[in-house]
A and B are shown apart, each in its own frame.
Chain A
Amino acid sequence: MADTNSNSTAALIPQVSVPPISLRRRVMDHVMTGAAVLTVALVLLPLFAIFAYLVYKGIGSINLAFLTQTPKPVGEPGGGMANAIVGSTVILGIASLLGVPLGIGAGIFLSEYGRNRYGDIVRFVSDVLNGVPSIVIGIVAYGLVVMRQKHFSALAGGVALAIMMVPTIARTTEQMLLLVPQAIREAAYGIGVSRWRTTLSITLRTATSGVITGVMLAFARVAGETAPLLFTAFGNQYWNWSTDQPTAALSLQIFTYAISPFDEWHRQAWAGALVLIVLIVGAVAAVRIAVKHGTLAGA
């Protein structure tokens, strides 16, 4: 029985002899794989080079004083950037608090309600905003916040950075939400879940990891910005715990120290750059880990 079966099946399949894979194809395969590996290396190389160089130049100046003290006057050795580390954290916190909800909200609008002319306008404006030089955004924040308050502040710096975050977050959120299949939304409608609830609890939740990637990209991008802070947060040589006062930021401190004529300050600028990079990488990694733990295995 089994015999007749296999015979009849064999009869159905035409006999073709498959030629062996030619040398040319095998060589090409290796060449292409090698090229792909090489490109990856080329992309990663600058990243590692920068990081290694920062460690090499900066690690020597990082000590407890650097992380806990404020800058010393010129000529006095020692001192640190503690106030700038805190200031950067505060400014970035304000920027995220303002920029993330606004950006995600705009992204939701674009994806769920903006499939029309009005959405096209918002998309266009958002793309243009993405291309505006950061110094110009600094001037806008200067006009919006500093002029009104009559003094520089962490708030003004946060507003400037928030404006820079919004378009990136909005467009990535939109793209990530559009990737969620319509069938998932229909499943929610089908069990009597309202549209806004579906958007928040189903669509946005399904797209969470992508949306977070967008947020982290925007965060990392503005974390190192200096120009928009020049005349908003302004910088400060002393401790300041108020969001209403001129505030130090790592990027500003690095800028000031790097263009100074003092060797001690140059070393501290390198150390500051290293700390800034570590903080950004640390923040991104922390969020990634938190999100991974918050989501379900196998999802």
Chain B
Amino acid sequence: MGVGITVEHLNAFYAKTQALFDINIVVQANHATALIGPSGCGKSTFIRCLNRMHETIPEARVEGLVRIGDLSVYNGTSATQLRRRVGMVFQKPNPFPTMSIYDNVAAGLKLNGFGNRRQLDEIVEKSLHASALWDEVKDHLHKKSGASLSGGQQQRLCIARALAVQPEVLLMDEPCSALDPISTGKIEELIFQLKEQYTIVIVTHNMQQAARVAEFTGFFLLGKMIEFDKTEKIFTNPSDKRTEDYVTGRFG
């Protein structure tokens, strides 16, 4: 089951440059929340703060409070433990190039010492079903490398890999930006199904996509969260002039 996310007074920095300014947001469990805004406005930085990926960059740091369910992200939780509960799908598909399709999906469990072969088989199959890739790869799970798949398949493989560790939250950082419309459609369909079990936060440059998949939408500009509301409201009747300008295409 998904869990909600609470963010209070979040500030993020790259060395001395501040990238996020006092972000406050409550993300509903089992819903999809989209983050939109022009390039460089801090959307990616923001979701990378949710699974502590931000701090893997040298000299980057975070201030403020993030809670995933009952877990306080920046207070005594180890980053590795946290990331098993908060999965992530990246902008560019990044399967492990030396691993088979099976091993790619099983990697998160295997590398953490999970050795039960039969259960592993089951989880791999379930995850590939969930990411709608099973039928396309079931005949060469062990023979083909993850890198030999097409871009859209690779991205669904990465989603399966994230699902296999059974997270509660799924972060997606522009998951369709490198994909063609058909693959994009498949992934959007997927997001619809995944919502039933996971809380989804998705960064996107495509406003139609936000409108299609997300119940809630946040608009970022220059490191600040300008507006956060129901998707319908953001796109039809935003409260802030800047949001209106952006969604109607007047700038950005």
Chain A positions near chain B (C-beta within 8 angstroms): 115, 181, 183-194, 197-198, 201-202, 205-206, 208, 295-299
B51 adjacent to chain A (CB < 8 Å): yes
Residue of A whose beta carbon sits closest to that of B148: A298
How many A-B residue contacts, CB cutoff 8 Å?
A: 88
Chain B interface residue bracket vs A: 35 or more
A117 to chain B, nearest CB (A): 13
A278 to chain B, nearest CB (A): 32
Measured in the bound complex, the distance between the Cα atoms of B94 and A186 in whole Å is 9
Chain B positions near chain A (C-beta within 8 angstroms): 51, 53, 56, 58, 79-84, 87-88, 90, 92, 94-100, 107-108, 111-112, 143-145, 147-148, 158, 161-162, 164-165
Q: Is the interface of B mostly helix, strand, loop or mixed?
A: mixed
B250 to chain A, nearest CB (A): 29
CB pair A193–B90 under 8 Å, yes or no, is no
CB pair B162–A193 under 8 Å, yes or no, is no
A189-B79, A189-B80, A190-B90 given; 19 more Cβ-contact pairs under 8 Å? A184-B96, A186-B56, A188-B96, A191-B87, A191-B88, A191-B161, A191-B165, A192-B112, A192-B165, A193-B80, A202-B107, A202-B111, A206-B96, A296-B98, A296-B99, A296-B145, A297-B144, A297-B145, A299-B148
CB pair B80–A298 under 8 Å, yes or no, is no
CB pair A190–B53 under 8 Å, yes or no, is yes
Residue of B whose beta carbon sits closest to that of A180: B97
CB pair B88–A190 under 8 Å, yes or no, is yes
B135 to chain A, nearest CB (A): 20
CB pair B56–A189 under 8 Å, yes or no, is yes
Q: Which residues of A contact B99 (CB under 8 A)?
A: 296, 299
Q: Among the listed B83, B96, B144, B145, which residue makes an inter-chain contact with A192, where contact means beta carbons less than 8 Å apart?
A: B83
CB pair A298–B90 under 8 Å, yes or no, is no
Q: Among the listed B87, B111, B147, which residue makes an inter-chain contact with A188, where contact means beta carbons less than 8 Å apart?
A: B111
